[in-house]
Amino acid sequence: MVYQLSSYYESVQLIEDFYCYIWQGRGNNCNSCLFANVLRGERPHVIIDPGHVTNELREACFDYLVKAMERDGFKVDDIGLIINTHSHPDHCQANEMVIQKSQAWVTLSEEEDEFRSTLGEKLCSMLGIKAPRFTPLFYLKEGNLNLGAQNKVELQIFLTPGHSPGSICLYWADNKILITGDVVFYGSIGRTDFPSGSLSMLKRSIDRLSQLDVEYLVPGHSTEFGSIVKGRPNVERNFQAVKLFL
Ligand SMILES: [Zn+2]
Protein backbone atom coordinates (compact mmCIF):
# COMPACT_ATOMS: atom_id res chain seq x y z
CA MET A 1 0.00 0.00 0.00
CA VAL A 2 1.37 3.42 -0.94
CA TYR A 3 0.22 6.56 0.84
CA GLN A 4 0.65 10.13 -0.34
CA LEU A 5 -0.63 12.95 1.80
CA SER A 6 -1.44 16.50 0.85
CA SER A 7 -3.53 18.87 2.91
CA TYR A 8 -6.72 18.03 0.99
CA TYR A 9 -6.51 14.45 -0.27
CA GLU A 10 -4.78 11.41 1.05
CA SER A 11 -4.03 9.12 -1.87
CA VAL A 12 -4.11 5.43 -0.96
CA GLN A 13 -2.99 2.97 -3.61
CA LEU A 14 -4.75 -0.16 -2.38
CA ILE A 15 -3.45 -2.38 -5.17
CA GLU A 16 -1.83 -1.85 -8.55
CA ASP A 17 -3.89 0.54 -10.68
CA PHE A 18 -6.48 1.20 -7.97
CA TYR A 19 -6.33 4.42 -5.98
CA CYS A 20 -8.56 5.89 -3.29
CA TYR A 21 -8.55 9.65 -2.83
CA ILE A 22 -9.58 10.27 0.76
CA TRP A 23 -10.90 13.77 1.34
CA GLN A 24 -9.07 15.62 4.14
CA GLY A 25 -10.56 19.11 3.90
CA ARG A 26 -12.68 20.77 6.60
CA GLY A 27 -15.89 21.09 4.61
CA ASN A 28 -17.99 18.37 3.04
CA ASN A 29 -16.82 16.38 0.03
CA CYS A 30 -16.75 12.70 -0.87
CA ASN A 31 -13.87 10.28 -1.31
CA SER A 32 -13.13 9.27 -4.91
CA CYS A 33 -11.73 6.04 -6.36
CA LEU A 34 -9.73 5.62 -9.54
CA PHE A 35 -9.30 2.51 -11.66
CA ALA A 36 -6.22 3.53 -13.63
CA ASN A 37 -5.35 2.29 -17.12
CA VAL A 38 -8.31 -0.06 -17.39
CA LEU A 39 -10.27 0.95 -20.50
CA ARG A 40 -9.02 0.47 -24.02
CA GLY A 41 -8.31 3.60 -26.07
CA GLU A 42 -7.09 7.08 -25.34
CA ARG A 43 -8.95 7.65 -22.09
CA PRO A 44 -8.25 4.60 -19.98
CA HIS A 45 -9.15 5.74 -16.44
CA VAL A 46 -12.44 5.18 -14.61
CA ILE A 47 -13.37 7.39 -11.68
CA ILE A 48 -16.00 6.75 -9.04
CA ASP A 49 -17.65 9.90 -7.64
CA PRO A 50 -15.45 12.87 -8.56
CA GLY A 51 -17.12 14.87 -5.77
CA HIS A 52 -17.76 18.58 -5.36
CA VAL A 53 -16.35 21.36 -7.48
CA THR A 54 -16.37 23.78 -4.53
CA ASN A 55 -17.92 22.96 -1.18
CA GLU A 56 -19.77 25.01 1.45
CA LEU A 57 -16.47 26.32 2.88
CA ARG A 58 -15.32 27.34 -0.61
CA GLU A 59 -12.64 24.70 -0.66
CA ALA A 60 -11.71 24.02 -4.31
CA CYS A 61 -12.34 20.27 -4.05
CA PHE A 62 -12.05 19.48 -7.74
CA ASP A 63 -8.81 21.44 -8.22
CA TYR A 64 -7.31 19.51 -5.31
CA LEU A 65 -8.47 16.21 -6.78
CA VAL A 66 -6.80 17.09 -10.08
CA LYS A 67 -3.56 17.84 -8.20
CA ALA A 68 -3.74 14.67 -6.12
CA MET A 69 -4.24 12.56 -9.25
CA GLU A 70 -1.36 14.34 -10.99
CA ARG A 71 0.96 13.49 -8.12
CA ASP A 72 0.17 9.83 -8.86
CA GLY A 73 0.83 10.37 -12.57
CA PHE A 74 -2.79 10.55 -13.81
CA LYS A 75 -4.64 13.25 -15.70
CA VAL A 76 -8.35 14.01 -15.47
CA ASP A 77 -8.21 14.46 -19.26
CA ASP A 78 -7.60 10.70 -19.51
CA ILE A 79 -10.78 9.66 -17.69
CA GLY A 80 -13.10 7.72 -20.02
CA LEU A 81 -15.90 6.82 -17.61
CA ILE A 82 -17.44 8.32 -14.48
CA ILE A 83 -19.44 6.00 -12.22
CA ASN A 84 -21.66 7.70 -9.66
CA THR A 85 -22.72 5.76 -6.57
CA HIS A 86 -25.62 8.20 -6.28
CA SER A 87 -26.63 11.65 -7.41
CA HIS A 88 -26.03 13.86 -4.35
CA PRO A 89 -24.06 16.96 -5.38
CA ASP A 90 -21.12 16.15 -3.09
CA HIS A 91 -20.55 13.02 -5.22
CA CYS A 92 -21.30 14.20 -8.76
CA GLN A 93 -21.10 17.99 -8.93
CA ALA A 94 -17.66 17.64 -10.57
CA ASN A 95 -18.94 15.30 -13.31
CA GLU A 96 -19.37 18.41 -15.46
CA MET A 97 -15.73 19.46 -14.97
CA VAL A 98 -14.42 15.99 -15.78
CA ILE A 99 -16.60 15.86 -18.91
CA GLN A 100 -15.32 19.28 -20.01
CA LYS A 101 -11.75 18.03 -19.83
CA SER A 102 -12.18 14.51 -21.17
CA GLN A 103 -15.64 13.97 -22.74
CA ALA A 104 -15.98 11.07 -20.29
CA TRP A 105 -19.13 8.97 -20.28
CA VAL A 106 -21.27 8.86 -17.14
CA THR A 107 -23.24 6.06 -15.60
CA LEU A 108 -25.43 5.62 -12.53
CA SER A 109 -28.56 3.62 -11.79
CA GLU A 110 -31.81 4.43 -13.59
CA GLU A 111 -33.62 4.77 -10.25
CA GLU A 112 -31.10 7.38 -9.15
CA ASP A 113 -31.24 9.27 -12.43
CA GLU A 114 -35.00 9.50 -12.17
CA PHE A 115 -34.71 10.79 -8.60
CA ARG A 116 -32.05 13.30 -9.69
CA SER A 117 -34.22 14.79 -12.41
CA THR A 118 -37.31 15.09 -10.20
CA LEU A 119 -37.14 15.44 -6.40
CA GLY A 120 -33.34 15.76 -6.44
CA GLU A 121 -33.47 18.89 -8.59
CA LYS A 122 -36.16 20.41 -6.38
CA LEU A 123 -34.08 19.72 -3.26
CA CYS A 124 -31.03 21.35 -4.85
CA SER A 125 -32.96 24.48 -5.74
CA MET A 126 -34.48 24.63 -2.23
CA LEU A 127 -30.98 24.40 -0.74
CA GLY A 128 -29.59 26.91 -3.24
CA ILE A 129 -27.20 24.34 -4.71
CA LYS A 130 -26.61 24.02 -8.44
CA ALA A 131 -28.14 20.71 -9.54
CA PRO A 132 -25.52 18.41 -11.09
CA ARG A 133 -25.85 18.43 -14.90
CA PHE A 134 -24.88 15.47 -17.05
CA THR A 135 -26.46 12.93 -19.36
CA PRO A 136 -25.73 9.29 -18.55
CA LEU A 137 -24.64 7.11 -21.45
CA PHE A 138 -26.11 3.95 -19.92
CA TYR A 139 -27.64 2.80 -16.67
CA LEU A 140 -26.08 0.55 -14.05
CA LYS A 141 -28.10 -2.51 -13.22
CA GLU A 142 -27.73 -5.05 -10.46
CA GLY A 143 -25.19 -7.61 -11.73
CA ASN A 144 -21.83 -7.63 -13.46
CA LEU A 145 -20.02 -4.64 -14.89
CA ASN A 146 -16.81 -5.57 -16.67
CA LEU A 147 -14.31 -2.87 -17.45
CA GLY A 148 -11.51 -3.01 -19.99
CA ALA A 149 -10.09 -5.49 -22.42
CA GLN A 150 -10.37 -9.15 -21.37
CA ASN A 151 -12.64 -8.00 -18.55
CA LYS A 152 -9.64 -6.60 -16.71
CA VAL A 153 -11.79 -5.39 -13.82
CA GLU A 154 -14.87 -7.48 -13.08
CA LEU A 155 -17.19 -5.58 -10.79
CA GLN A 156 -20.51 -6.57 -9.28
CA ILE A 157 -23.08 -3.82 -8.94
CA PHE A 158 -25.43 -3.96 -5.96
CA LEU A 159 -28.53 -1.78 -5.92
CA THR A 160 -28.53 -0.54 -2.35
CA PRO A 161 -31.29 2.01 -1.80
CA GLY A 162 -31.94 3.69 1.53
CA HIS A 163 -29.67 6.74 1.64
CA SER A 164 -31.00 7.63 -1.80
CA PRO A 165 -33.49 5.74 -4.00
CA GLY A 166 -30.96 4.37 -6.49
CA SER A 167 -27.65 4.18 -4.60
CA ILE A 168 -25.29 1.50 -5.83
CA CYS A 169 -22.28 -0.22 -4.27
CA LEU A 170 -19.46 -1.83 -6.27
CA TYR A 171 -17.85 -5.10 -5.29
CA TRP A 172 -14.56 -6.20 -6.83
CA ALA A 173 -14.46 -9.87 -5.87
CA ASP A 174 -10.93 -10.52 -7.22
CA ASN A 175 -9.50 -8.10 -4.68
CA LYS A 176 -12.28 -8.25 -2.09
CA ILE A 177 -12.83 -4.51 -2.34
CA LEU A 178 -16.26 -3.04 -1.61
CA ILE A 179 -16.97 0.59 -2.55
CA THR A 180 -19.98 1.66 -0.54
CA GLY A 181 -20.76 5.29 -1.39
CA ASP A 182 -23.00 6.68 1.37
CA VAL A 183 -24.56 3.36 2.37
CA VAL A 184 -22.09 2.37 5.09
CA PHE A 185 -19.07 4.15 6.60
CA TYR A 186 -16.41 3.39 9.19
CA GLY A 187 -18.60 3.01 12.30
CA SER A 188 -21.62 4.69 10.77
CA ILE A 189 -24.34 4.58 8.13
CA GLY A 190 -25.67 6.96 5.49
CA ARG A 191 -28.32 9.50 6.44
CA THR A 192 -31.90 8.53 5.72
CA ASP A 193 -33.55 11.75 6.88
CA PHE A 194 -33.70 13.27 3.40
CA PRO A 195 -37.23 13.16 1.91
CA SER A 196 -36.10 10.31 -0.35
CA GLY A 197 -34.34 8.23 2.33
CA SER A 198 -35.58 5.01 3.90
CA LEU A 199 -34.10 3.37 6.98
CA SER A 200 -35.84 0.04 6.28
CA MET A 201 -34.42 -0.03 2.75
CA LEU A 202 -30.99 0.90 4.06
CA LYS A 203 -31.19 -1.97 6.53
CA ARG A 204 -31.96 -4.43 3.76
CA SER A 205 -29.14 -3.02 1.64
CA ILE A 206 -26.59 -3.26 4.46
CA ASP A 207 -27.74 -6.80 5.29
CA ARG A 208 -26.98 -7.84 1.71
CA LEU A 209 -23.55 -6.17 1.67
CA SER A 210 -22.59 -7.79 4.96
CA GLN A 211 -22.79 -11.23 3.30
CA LEU A 212 -19.85 -10.43 1.00
CA ASP A 213 -16.25 -11.50 1.54
CA VAL A 214 -14.55 -8.09 1.97
CA GLU A 215 -10.97 -7.15 2.84
CA TYR A 216 -11.25 -3.42 2.08
CA LEU A 217 -14.42 -1.42 2.63
CA VAL A 218 -14.03 1.95 0.89
CA PRO A 219 -16.74 4.40 2.00
CA GLY A 220 -17.87 7.62 0.35
CA HIS A 221 -16.97 9.70 3.41
CA SER A 222 -14.63 9.36 6.36
CA THR A 223 -15.87 9.52 9.95
CA GLU A 224 -14.17 10.24 13.27
CA PHE A 225 -13.34 6.51 13.35
CA GLY A 226 -11.50 6.38 10.04
CA SER A 227 -11.95 6.03 6.30
CA ILE A 228 -11.09 2.66 4.71
CA VAL A 229 -11.93 -0.37 6.86
CA LYS A 230 -9.09 -2.85 6.33
CA GLY A 231 -9.01 -6.57 7.04
CA ARG A 232 -11.90 -9.00 6.96
CA PRO A 233 -12.33 -9.23 10.77
CA ASN A 234 -12.54 -5.43 11.00
CA VAL A 235 -15.01 -5.28 8.12
CA GLU A 236 -17.18 -7.88 9.86
CA ARG A 237 -16.97 -5.98 13.14
CA ASN A 238 -17.89 -2.81 11.30
CA PHE A 239 -21.02 -4.43 9.86
CA GLN A 240 -21.97 -5.73 13.31
CA ALA A 241 -21.48 -2.26 14.78
CA VAL A 242 -23.43 -0.36 12.14
CA LYS A 243 -26.33 -2.81 12.32
CA LEU A 244 -26.96 -1.41 15.81
CA PHE A 245 -28.11 1.80 14.10
CA LEU A 246 -30.68 -0.08 12.02
ZN1 LIG B 1 -25.14 11.18 -0.31
In the chain, the percentage of residues whose pLDDT exceeds 70 is 98
pLDDT at res. 62 = 97
SS3 9: strand
Q: Which of 67, 53, 56 is nearest to 100 (CA)?
A: 53
Average pLDDT on 114-143 reads: 92
pLDDT at res. 97 = 97
With bands split at pLDDT 50, 70 and 90, how would you rate the model's confidence at 205?
Answer: very high
Q: Is the pLDDT of residue 6 over 70?
A: no
Q: What are phi and psi of 197, to 5 degrees?
A: -85, 160
Residues contacting residue 136 through CB under 8 Å, at least 6 positions apart: 105, 106, 107, 108, 113
CA 241 to ligand 1 centroid distance, Å: 21
With bands split at pLDDT 50, 70 and 90, how would you rate the model's confidence at 5?
Answer: low
CA 183 to ligand 1 centroid distance, Å: 8
Please give the model's pTM, rounded to 2 decimal places: 0.96
Q: Is the pLDDT of residue 129 over 90?
A: no
Sorted by where each starts, the structural domains of the chain and their CATH numbers stand as: 2-243 (3.60.15.10)
CA 28 to ligand 1 centroid distance, Å: 11
- Decide if 12 contacts 20 (C-beta within 8 A): yes
pLDDT at res. 128 = 87
CA 42 to ligand 1 centroid distance, Å: 31
Q: Is the pLDDT of residue 32 over 80?
A: yes
pLDDT at res. 199 = 96
Burial 186-204, CB ≥16 within 10 A → b, else e: bbbbbebeeebbbeebbbe
Q: Is the pLDDT of residue 150 over 80?
A: no
CA 130 to ligand 1 centroid distance, Å: 15
CA 91 to ligand 1 centroid distance, Å: 7
pLDDT at res. 113 = 97
Q: Is the pLDDT of residue 52 over 70?
A: yes
CA 178 to ligand 1 centroid distance, Å: 17
CA 40 to ligand 1 centroid distance, Å: 31
Answer positive or negative: Cα dihedral of 202, 203, 206, 207.
negative
Average pLDDT on 75-100 reads: 97
Average pLDDT on 182-199 reads: 94
The packing angle between helices 232-243 and 199-209, to 10°, is: 160
Q: Is the pLDDT of residue 51 over 80?
A: yes
Q: Is the pLDDT of residue 3 over 70?
A: no
| Three-state SS annotation for 92-103 | HCCHHHHHHHHC
Q: Which of 50, 19, 28, 9 is nearest to 191 (CA)?
A: 28
In the chain, the percentage of residues whose pLDDT exceeds 90 is 88
CA 127 to ligand 1 centroid distance, Å: 14
Q: How far is residue 167's CA from residue 87's CA, in Å, rounded to a whole number?
A: 8
Q: What is the mean pLDDT of the chain?
A: 95
With bands split at pLDDT 50, 70 and 90, how would you rate the model's confidence at 145?
Answer: very high
Give, for 21, the enclosing helix (H) or strand (E): strand 18-23
With bands split at pLDDT 50, 70 and 90, how would you rate the model's confidence at 195?
Answer: confident
